[in-house]
Structure 1
Amino acid sequence: MKTHLLILFILTLASQMAFSQQDDGVVSFDLPIRNSLVFNRYNINPTFTFVREQNKYISFNNKRQWIQFDNAPEMFLGSYSGRFSENIGAGVAAFQQNYGVLTTFGGLINFAYNVKLSTDSNLTFGLNAAAYKSGVNTSNIVTNFDDPSLQNVPENFLLTVNPGINYGTEFLDFGISINNLVLYNIETSSMVEDDPKQSIKAHVMHTGFFDGRGFFKDTKFSGILMSEFRQDETIISGLATLNVPKGIWFQVGYNNLYGVSGGLGLNVTKNIALEYNIEKSIGELVEFGSSHEVTLAYRFITKKKYDYSGDEDVSGLFTKKRIKPIVQASEEELAGIRERAAARRAQAKLDREAAEKAKKETDANALAEAQAKAKQLAEEKAEREAKEKLAREEAAKKAKLLAEQQAKEETERKAQEEAEARAKALAEEKAKEEAEARAKAQQLAEQKAREEAAEKARLLAEQQAKEEAERKAKEEAEAKAMLLAEQKAKEEAEAEAKAQQLAEQKAREEAAEKARLLAEQQAKAEAERKAQEEAEARAKALAEQKAKEEAAEKARLLDEQQAKEETDNKANEELIENPKDEIGKTIASLTKDAESTNDQQNKLLEEFEKIVDIKDEDLKDLKEENDLSDQGITVQPKPFKSVTAENNKLNAIKSDLDAVIESQSQKIDSLNSLYEERYKTTKLDEVNLFYRKKIENLKLKQAEAKTLRLQLNNRLELIKEATEFEKRRRIKRAAYDNEQDRYAQDRAMLQNIKRTTKLAETPYTSDDFDFGLEQSENIQILKNVSNTESGYYLIIAVHSNINKRNEFLTKVIASGRTNVDFFYDVSSSKYYIYYDKFDSISAANRAMENKGNRPYNVKMSLVKIEN
């Protein structure tokens, strides 16, 4: 035994030397994470917490290397990292590495900062800083004697710094990092020299999307080539990843030192992800066997769309897609919309004319003031020059000229005050006229609204009168049909009465004949019956005598058997209730406890089901209210109740139920184990048979409880989704009229511009166009855009002001482009103007490249709509 322990300790120290650069136990910082381009990428280069990253992650990673050997190297890593802002990425991690009886544990912090050089050019700086401790884990050492050599194995606390830099373009990234640039031993207060793991690592990475169809549509591809230059060796490696939008990705890799690797990852939901990688050694390490790596991660999805990110859509395998209801307006509603749109256009025209008039007056006043001020400045300049000349020529006349100057300035000041007073009076008069014009316009609008309301009331009255007439006609028709039915029923009843009389007469005659024949037959049968009764009486007397004798014998035997069974049952019940062996006593006690827990479990399930039924009734009431509201029927609101209190009660019941189910499962498992243990010694005695049936019954009830728990939970989830749908349905119904009004008005305006705009006699230049808001050169993604199909749109301008939008549309149509169109994004309140749409990104990119030199195409960008 001592020899085996010594050999194990020597081998462990030898393996430690493979990770050390000298005999003092100092271990270089080297995390064996190298086969993933999705999680913990900061180990490849410190800048990768920012480079092409969109979200933040919490991940837990476990890697076991060369599992063919006992006590093989193993690593545990937990980290939180990712993109935190438009130019900052960061991360923090804790790790532990075990090499047999030796262990290394510590923490790491990461920071990355990006400098945007141009639209598609980024320079990112990153830094990894780690602090860790290495030494012997004495809890893993088992010896029969005290070994002083174990006390001499040193422990070290080290600090290391790993900087990196990355330059990124639209699809490519180039970078370099230095591993263990600084390695400082705090125990010895000195820098570590001649570190064999100190290296320079360079990489080239490409990131893009496939133009595929079906399952591989919009698939993201990432590939990276890396070279690591150490003192005595060079390591070449590469990784490639395919990320399918359905929520799954594949990875393959090669490393000339460690071998080949393959991996698979999937998004269980949009937030929860799981990844597995296997690494197969080749070359000199082929005898070491395979390494396995598992990562569990939680993704924090950022609502903001960052530049220089992965651009892929995140979806889960079990994410449910919601189908949005499509509501269409009736002809009457569309007519009302058109009337309101016409009224708004008239009001807008009046407001526009008033604003133009006010602007012209303001411009005229400003021009007059500017001219007066310019004249005054010119006069002052001339006077200063004259004053200086006179001062040089005649010093004696200075006082006289100064007095004249002051008099002239006083005269001009008074004139200016009079002009300002006249301008102020004129402005007040114009403001009064404008107020009267606005009041008149408002009066016209109110009169128009009253007329529309009266017309709507008249139409509603006509509709109600029509419905009332139809109802009365229907009631009259029903009354006539009822009279005809009663008349027909009366006639049929009379016919049936006559037929019944004839049938009764015939029946009486037939009955008299049958009675006569029956009397004769009964007399004959009576004679035969008397003879048969006498024979049966004699046979019965003999049979009763024999039966009494047999019954007496059977009763005696039955009494003896029942007495024996009662004796046996009492003994068995006593043995079952009070077993003699310890295992039996434990089984009896645990069975009673399990039956009590089962009763508690059933009570919680009943309470759970009651709350689910209540929520189902609430959903039905909400749906009925929405359906009636869609028909124009107003219902009395339901009494208020606290949903929060109900949900808190439900969560408490679910928590208690899960705890009880788990406890009951453990008790059943314990019962089963005790039964199997007792069965080995006593086989099938009465106690075992009794408790085997009890255990089977408990298992059956437990399975039924779990099934019911799952059914209730699934039912609750369906009710929650349906309730959310009905709530959104109520909200959308409230916002529907305004949204449809805006859409109808926009369509009418576009058609009017196309109909009235003529070709320009002088061609426009790009300076003549106001392109509105500045757009990114990256593809922008918009979701839930109403009245617009999904696809890729060539956007030529973006405006939030309607007048500027109409001005841009007019100039584009005047330039010869008549198929120009636009859509409205409610979330950003912007109008996106375009003239072409594509279903694939490749076709859209080709159109972008071939856009030509038309003046309105100068700032063309690409927008993807996902509805």
Structure 2
Amino acid sequence: MLKHLFIYIILFACIQQALAQEDGVIALDLPVRNGLRFNRYAINPTFSFVREQNRYVSFSNKRQWVQFDDAPNTYLFGYSGRFRENIGAGIGLFQQDYGVLTSFGGILNFAYNVVLNRDSNLTFGMNLGFYQSGINEGRVVTNFPDPSLDNIPTQSVMAINPGINYGTAFFDFGLSVNNLVAYNFKTSALIEDNPEQSIGAHVMYTGYMNTRGFLDQSKFSTLIKSDFKKDNTVLSGIVMLTVPKGIWAQVGYNTLYGVSAGIGLNLTKEIALEYNYEQAIGDLAEFGNSHEITLAYKFKKSYRYNYADDDDEEALIMPSRRANGIATRRQTSKNSNRPRVVRQPRTVRENTVEIDPNGVEVNRPDDTPVADSDTNVEQQRLEAEEAARMIAEQEAEAARRAEEARLKAEAEAKLKAEQEAEAARLAEEARLKAERERQARLAEQRRLQAEEAARIKAEQEAEQARIAEEARLKAEAEAKLKEEQEAEAARLLAEQEAQAKQAEEARLAEEAEARAKAEREEDIAMQELDGVLIPVAKDREALEMKNLTELTEKTRIEQQNLLDQLKAKVAIKQQDLDDLKEENDLSEQGIVVAPRAFKSITAENREIEALKVNIDNILRSQGMKITELENVYNERLKTVRDKEDEVNAYYLSKINELKAAQEQTLSARTDLFSNLETIKVATEIERKRRISRAAYDNEQVRYEKDRRTLDMIRQITPRSTTPLRAEDFDSGEVLRNIQILKGVNNADNGYYLVIAVHSDVAKRDEFLRKAVASGQTNIDFFFDVNSSKYYIYYSKYDSIEAANRGLAAKGSQPYNVNMSVVKIED
């Protein structure tokens, strides 16, 4: 009793640790860790698909630490496996008992596979679990009330376990997240600090033994897995050997639960039984052993999947074999066709007449006694004479027929010889005629080929000359434009420097003149400026404000002139944009407009940039002058504090007026600069429209020319009299993996079996001629404008599976050596 109580306390402590601080909540953790045969989706969600060929219905029972009462016990019923070429799925129902706690629920599994290439697969999977956990009152046995048990409610939990697996020919690498999300419907919150939340990583190897005897073609599987939890890391490994006789064995090790071993066998072709034994070691050594037994049923199918272990396994109880229903044909005896001998005896005096197989009478001795009467003698004589006459007639008839047969045979032989001679003569005439026609046809084909080659060469030389001439003219135009731009830049720079120098000289002269004038008019109380009377005082600040006011007025006029010039440039830019847009619109409608006169856009842009710089400089200068005027005004307020003073009032009003005008100028400058940017963006869009239209026209011309060349090669290229070898074909660029092309014009979406890739037109045509000469008349190609390459093919498919089948059946044709799959999509 004390031993059971001690164990109960240990188990209850372990269970409480697993509750993730949620009353009555048990974390989702199915103890499927000792086998690689059934319910593998509980190890990683992708394993319902990975290397799976069949579907199973299974029932498992896992009893842990059986030496203790109320030890953990798990029942699992599942249906899982491969359902489509790229889909695996499963469903499971389970019940787990942990002492007085019980968890009951189900798991939905789904896995989807993506084929990367012939031996590479990427599989995604997810397990969605929903279960209830709480106290099983029927298992509570206590002699005293336990309030802690009364406060544990029944909880409903949903858990999500995603996973991924990358598989090659023999290896699989994968990750999974156990209890990524665990949502408690009772509390409407996620379960935090879940001790069973972990990241699982695995490496699996699957191979076959090539030996003799009992172990021949046995499958060898190894799984190494690690679970990274918050507080610790659990490592495990399983090794399984499956013999084709229908028997398998497996051993494993887990750093937390200990070592395990198991064996399984096929009772029939559909029914299998498996048993696993687990022994705790380390910290759990006192817990003892665990047992797991599984009964499974395999569903038959009539097809095979790719990326799966398609093993032919036997069974302990073999199914009965039925007769194949093929009847054995009786053989005819060799003697059955032999002619029967018909014997026709007739009685004569001393001999018996027989008729042999050729109808000739044959006499043989006969010991039958002859009657002595005359009548019998005469009768026998007459019969003998009659027989002799008949024999003579038969011999004469036979000789006549033999002579007729001889004459007929001679006539037939003579006729046959004459017919054979006539046939030989006609055949020779036909051969000579065919040879003459063939020679004439070859000569004509050579002539056409020479003409076509000369034409193509002439076109290529003309095209190269045109391109060279265009490049020369372009280089000259660019050089000329560069010289013009440099000259224009130098001129503008010189003008700007001269203008700046003149402006500075004018400013200095104006300032000197203003100072002299101020000195002359010190005693004048009022001065008229632009029709406005300006009060003048003799103090320094008043005179300085007067000079600054005159300078700001002149700068304001210069600002306005520069803004007017920029407005004119903006209007010109807007008109150019409107003309370009109208030209593009009309071109798309098929209306051809006359090209506009050449205008140096670079020079125009440089003038605009110079105006922008001048405007910014003069705005900055005007702002500094206004600030200086305001500072002088504030200095005078220190000595002449009365704001109602005529001088102070006038210049305060002037300062406000200048600030308002400056704000308006800044706003106009911002609007003009913004309009320029808007026009620039719109002009670039319209320019790209024109370039795209021109590129489209050029692409159509190239496509029509390529079609004419292909048709000509198909028509005039003769069949080669000697077989061509793979060394005779230049396939150009070799594609190792499936290549995806987008934006290919004049070609439908799909999977193409490409046999050559060329950028050079001459090499493309040479490959096409040799392929046609080898008998491939369906040869074709498409052009990828993004890479400027020609892709040559003769087969196209709508699916990757069909394309792979066509690739596998490419045969030994010399032009198929570097065949690969290219996909075209939008």
TM-score per shorter chain, which class?
0.3 to 0.5
Q: TM-score, normalised by structure 1?
A: 0.38
User: Quick check: which one's helix share is greater?
Assistant: 1
Q: TM-score, normalised by structure 2?
A: 0.40
Larger radius of gyration: 2
